[in-house]
Amino acid sequence: MIEVDGKYHVWTKRLGRGRIKLLTLHGGPGCTHEYFECFEDFLPEAGVEFYYYDQLSSVYSDQPDDKSLWSLPRFVEEVEQVRKGLGLDDFYLLGHSWGSMLAIDYALKYQQHLKGLVLCDMTAGIQAYLKYVNALVDELPADVRSTVRKYESEGKFDAPEYQDALMEHFYKVHICRLDPWPEPVQRCFNHFEDAKAQVVYNTMQGPNETQVTGNLKDWERWDDLPKIKVPTLTIGARYDEMNPAEMEKIAKLVARGRYGYCPNGSHFSMWDDQAVYFRHLITFLHDVDAGRFKA
């Protein structure tokens, strides 16, 4: 447990031992590290020492009742406190989904501590995300699309019919394509349904994946990407709710970027296109570590 903000504590765990050190930033906001558990099957044997870290408000960390805490700048400072608490420097930072938003903003302020950056399944601006994710909704079968749009227009995001339509026709196609979902993924989502986790998600994101009404709604970092100078890997997937072409665009806009594509993956491509995902990730880490990285 690492103290942050002088009074709260966040949960961390180290796995493996090696010269290459990687800190993970999970999605959400409000999710947990649990869906990263598949990393244990690949990274330690590749010589990578990696760290789980549950952000403040997640199930394994403190969950204070204070909405003023739920902002991107505060989470950036939390990551920096975790870095210091773990004694990390010249390390790799991996973000997934919301964690990539956090990783981008951390790199823009603290990249002097980074050896490399990995951005998975997240575009660099909310407007691009909304355009793409709603285009995916428009491709749903007509009856399903009608149900989704009906409840959205009424603001009834908790309606069982709405939740069922998204789960069966959107989440199982664009979030994770394995059936059933792997136990760590399902466990993460079960914890994500915790009321306190939902407060931070609703405050920052909004009611669900297709609506961004929280304080992240104006987040746009396309123009800032060239300021990121450290070697950067972006990973996109064919069926992701994020446009894979935008993952490739990010790799071209940062100073030293490389793009990895998962042709059978979705938002959780570390699970449903696992071999390809980890080949991209481990090759990148080894190339940077050996001084042979090429953008």
Residues with a known catalytic role: 97, 240, 267
Strand partners, 84: none
Amino acid at 35: Y
Residue pair 199/294 in contact (Cβ under 8 Å)? The answer is: no
Distances (CA, A) of 76 to 25, 80, 93, 99, 181: 11, 6, 12, 10, 31
- Token pair listed for 253: 């806009």
Which stretches of the chain are DSSP H helices?
72-86, 98-110, 126-138, 142-154, 160-166, 183-192, 195-204, 244-253, 269-272, 274-289
Cα separation, 50 vs 24, in Å, equals 7
